[in-house]
Amino acid sequence: MSSPQLSKLDFSYNDFSGHIFQGLGRCLRLSVLRAGFNNLSGEIPSDIYNLSKLEQLFLPANQLTGKIDNNITRLKKLTSLELYFNHLEGEIPMDIGKLSSLQLHINNLTGLRALAF
Residue ranges of domains in the chain? 8-113
- DSSP label at residue 68: -
| CB of 57 closer than 8 Å to CB of 51 | no
Centroid of chain to Cα 41? 13
pTM, entire model: 0.86
- Tell me the fold of 8-113: 3.80.10
pLDDT bracket for residue 117 (50, 70, 90): very low
CA–CA gap between residue 17 and residue 12 (Å, rounded)? 12
Query: Which CA distances in Å does 107 have to 71, 74, 81, 95, 104?
Result: 20, 22, 11, 18, 9
* Close Cβ partners of 77 (under 8 Å, ≥ 6 residues apart): 31, 52, 53, 54, 55, 101
pLDDT in tens, 6-61: 899 999 999 999 999 888 999 999 999 999 999 999 999 999 999 999 999 999 99
pLDDT in tens, 85-102: 999 998 888 898 888 888
Predicted local confidence at residue 113, as pLDDT: 59
Cα distance between the two ends of the chain: 36
CA–CA gap between residue 92 and residue 67 (Å, rounded)? 8
